[in-house]
Structure 1
């Protein structure tokens, strides 16, 4: 009877649209999308903090991203690379990855992307037309519910420096990665907020939903 009662309670919770009490903070955050608000339940990273990936991200990948809100748009394809840092933690090769994504999205408008040598959470992208895009991670949370699943949520502050006043925005991206054979399957949920300081509680202005597929490139098969 105990098992039947548990199943009934779980089913009742799902019907009510709620999360089981043991759902992780990021799983609970996901259930709220796209009705996110700030402040979010994310920790503010120090200059040395970084997003630490499971070992099965090791190597170089071809990443294909599909916008699930606009399936008429072609998929975006770029490379991604994950490397060990000075503390032997697996992290994204941030400048390489940002350059690859930026080239796929902006083409020749992107000149280069540089990491801040003093912080793992800040980058500067140089664009044509004397424009610079400064990106700083202001909040982060990551979890591994099991050995084949990885969730990460990051909030970034973007400042576009261009002729005229700078333009600010905040973007939160929650990603769920799962091992799929030799590759990685992923979904991303994104919310764009107004500049900080306008309201005590910011609501999402626009939302996006993406599906990603990581395919290992030659000589970079994932660890087993």
Structure 2
């Protein structure tokens, strides 16, 4: 694979929606919603905290969904001085919906995790169950990656059994993308929106030299009164340069690329009944 194609794949992975990737720290009131409304005037988040376990979603997100994702806007705040590879090519994705399946399930604790819990030691909860709703990260990531890159390009996705915040995507030609969530914040607005922000490091391995960058995904989910769609979301993915990049100091705390998506969640036909029960 040529270097230019490899770099383009790296940046396309940066755009993959972080639905995929316990209790998360609350952001300052209104900070995340204000951040979305200020697009594309962004800088790095400062109020995020190291993740504690997995990201917990509201009960109304439980179930299997067909998601329609549409890129509705993009920006290169530092152009023309700094423009990421593949940015101009990604303009072709504007207003072109992509569909894939995702699911949100009850969290499953390993025996080791359960043994650490004081609730388990007091026999207040079973060792392997939880009422928390979390993303099925391996299922979601695999479906999402294949929808963008093709079935043959993506071999599998593995989530670290000791940490839901670390996963590896295995690609053809012995290439790997290692994604690690390093910080997180959540916010619930008065009108019922659930907003998440996750910051993660991505390491692309298998090319002539490893490539590292930092990505932030901020998403506002909103439950609708209809079933078609049942949930909508506004999502912005921001790409930041790593310290190894020669333009790192010139970019400072500003992103070099921003992508805004509209997400629509439709109940999967085989799971409609379970989704209704979870509301």
TM-score with structure 1 setting the length: 0.82
User: How many angstroms apart in 2 are the aligned matches of 1:172 and 1:39?
Assistant: 9
User: Which has the larger strand fraction?
Assistant: 1
Query: Following TM superposition, where does structure 1 have runs of at least 4 consecutive aligned residues deviating by more than 6 angstroms?
Result: none
Alignment of structure 1 residues 1-224 onto 2, 5 Å? 24-38=30-44, 40-46=46-52, 49-69=53-73, 70=91, 72=94, 74-86=96-108, 87-107=130-150, 108-146=152-190, 148-180=192-224, 181-182=226-227, 183-196=230-243, 198-199=248-249, 201-218=252-269, 219-220=271-272, 221-222=275-276, 223-224=278-279
Segment drifting more, 175-184 vs 58-67? 175-184
Residue 102 of structure 1, CA deviation: 0.6
Q: Where do 5+ consecutive residues of structure 2 fail to align? A: 1-27, 74-90, 109-129
CA contact (8 A) 2:72 2:95 kept: no
Q: Which has the higher contact order (CA 8 A, sep 6+)?
A: 2
TM-score with structure 2 setting the length: 0.67
Residue 109 of structure 1, CA deviation: 0.7
Partner SS state of residue 138, structure 2? helix
Aligned length: 201
Q: Where do 5+ consecutive residues of structure 1 fail to align? A: 1-21
Partner SS state of residue 242, structure 2? coil
User: Which has the larger helix fraction?
Assistant: 2
